[in-house]
């Protein structure tokens, strides 16, 4: 075996070992996607109904609250970015970070100070490398988040939105950037304003119902009664709303990350197969060249011996 053939054989062995690893990671990610999808589906009804409850209280009362009332001149906004702790997921992390950068630039353009909260080691590394301030960060659970993790993330956000903007940790708005899981093949980075909650559509619908009740006469009761008061109901709903939104976003991000990892590992496995085929062809060509050279050397040697023998006979 020639030297070039041995080089190709070693490379084929190395790529084959890498292919086994990427194939295993692809299978693991595929199994995790199914579980993550189920958790996302299970969390959505609670988050939706809780949001509807907040909107019902807001549109049925005139209480000014951090959940529903926009500041007259907002000056500070919190941005929660959710990415993963590890890479090997294609453009998953970079796409979410780009979405956060666009949101940050827009908020700064509106004259607002941005306060960063980061979930995921990749996001923390990115911000620290660029010397951007981070209020708080979390890591270690992005692949399999729990509700306890969501509560830990939500706690400083709730404290910030409840504090006065003049306070050191107070904010007027709360935004969240994460990757929404749409399907196995489609995941899209999104940025949502969690607080104050947008009530435009619900308010328009409720206004129509209220006008209809007014036409029916003064005896018609209000749409909702709140006990002990609308403000206390909103105070009770605020932490639950933020926690449920953060939890759903963490689950969506985890499912999206697993899907991105599966695609990236499948692509790596396919590329490894193509490389093995290419190297095999080169190894075969090198081996054929070695054989041809050996045959030529044997034939040349035999010819030389024959010539020498003929000369001695003379």
Q: What is the DSSP string of the chain?
A: --HHHHHHHHHHHHHHHHHHHHHHHHHHHHHHHHHHHHHHHHHHHHHHHHHHHHHHHHHT-----TTTPPPSS--EEEEEEE--SS--STTHHHHHHHHHHHHHHHHHHTT-EEEEEEESHHHHHHHHHTT---SEEE-S-TTS--HHHHHHHHHHHHHHHHS-TTSTT--SEEEEEEEEE-SSS-EEEEEEEEESPP-HHHHHHHHHHHHHHHHH-TTPPPS---SS-HHHHHHHHHHHHHHHHHHHHHHHHHHHHHHHHHHHHHHHHHHHHHHHHHHHHHHHHHHHHHHHHHHHHHHHHHHHHHHHHHHHH-
pLDDT tens digits, the chain, 314 residues: what are they?
567 888 888 999 999 999 999 999 999 998 899 899 999 999 999 888 888 887 777 776 676 766 777 777 889 999 999 999 988 888 999 999 999 999 999 999 999 999 999 999 999 999 999 999 999 999 999 999 999 999 999 999 999 988 876 677 889 999 999 999 998 889 999 999 988 877 654 444 445 444 554 455 544 444 567 777 777 888 888 889 999 999 999 999 999 999 999 999 999 999 999 999 999 998 888 888 878 877 887 877 777 777 667 666 65
Angle at 283 between CA 282 and CA 284, to 5 degrees: 90
Q: CATH assignment of 21-216+226-265, given 3.30.920.30, 1.10.150.130, 3.40.50.2000, 3.40.1380.10? A: 3.40.1380.10
Residue ranges of domains in the chain: 21-216+226-265
Phi/psi region, residue 217 (left: phi>0; alpha: psi -120 to 50; beta: rest), is left
Residue 300: per-residue pLDDT: 77
The CA-to-CA distance between both ends of the chain, in Å, stands at 40
CB 102 within 8 A of CB 96: no
pLDDT tens-place string over residues 151-205: 999 999 999 988 876 677 889 999 999 999 998 889 999 999 988 877 654 444 4
Closest CA to 133 of 109, 115, 108: 115
Cβ neighbors of 208 (< 8 A, separation 6 or more) are: none
Q: How many CB atoms lie within 10 A of CB 43?
A: 20
Distance (Å, rounded) from C-alpha 133 to C-alpha 79? 12
Phi, psi dihedrals of residue 18, rounded to the nearest 5° = -65, -40
């Amino acid at each position: 075996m020639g030297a070039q053939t041995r080089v190709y054989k070693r490379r084929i062995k190395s790529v084959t070992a890498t292919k086994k690893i990427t194939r295993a990671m692809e299978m693991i990610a595929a199994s995790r996607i199914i579980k993550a999808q189920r958790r996302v589906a299970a969390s959505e009804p609670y988050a939706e109904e809780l949001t509807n409850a907040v909107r019902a209280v807001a549109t049925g009362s005139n209480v000014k609250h951090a959940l529903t009332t926009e500041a007259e001149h907002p000056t500070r906004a919190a941005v929660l970015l959710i990415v993963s702790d590890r890479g090997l997921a294609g453009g998953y992390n970079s796409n979410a970070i780009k979405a956060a950068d666009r949101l940050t630039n827009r908020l700064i353009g509106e004259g607002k100070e941005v306060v960063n909260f980061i979930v995921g080691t990749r996001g923390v590394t990115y911000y620290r490398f660029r010397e951007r301030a981070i209020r708080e960060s979390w890591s270690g659970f992005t692949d399999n988040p729990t509700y306890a993790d969501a509560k830990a993330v939500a706690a400083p956000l709730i404290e910030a939105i409840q504090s006065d903007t003049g306070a050191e940790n107070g904010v007027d708005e709360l935004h969240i950037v994460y990757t929404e899981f749409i399907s196995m093949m489609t995941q899209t980075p999104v940025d949502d304003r969690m607080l104050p909650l947008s009530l435009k559509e619900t308010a328009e619908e409720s206004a129509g119902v209220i006008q209809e009740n007014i036409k029916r006469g003064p005896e018609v009761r209000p749409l909702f009664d709140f006990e002990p008061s609308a403000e206390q109901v909103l105070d009770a709903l605020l932490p639950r709303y933020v926690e449920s939104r953060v939890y759903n976003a963490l689950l969506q991000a985890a499912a999206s990350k697993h899907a991105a990892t599966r695609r990236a590992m499948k692509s790596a496995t396919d590329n490894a197969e193509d490389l093995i085929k290419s190297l095999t062809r080169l190894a075969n060509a090198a081996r054929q060249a070695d054989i041809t050279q050996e045959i030529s050397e044997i034939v040349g040697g035999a010819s030389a011996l024959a010539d020498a023998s003929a000369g001695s006979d003379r």
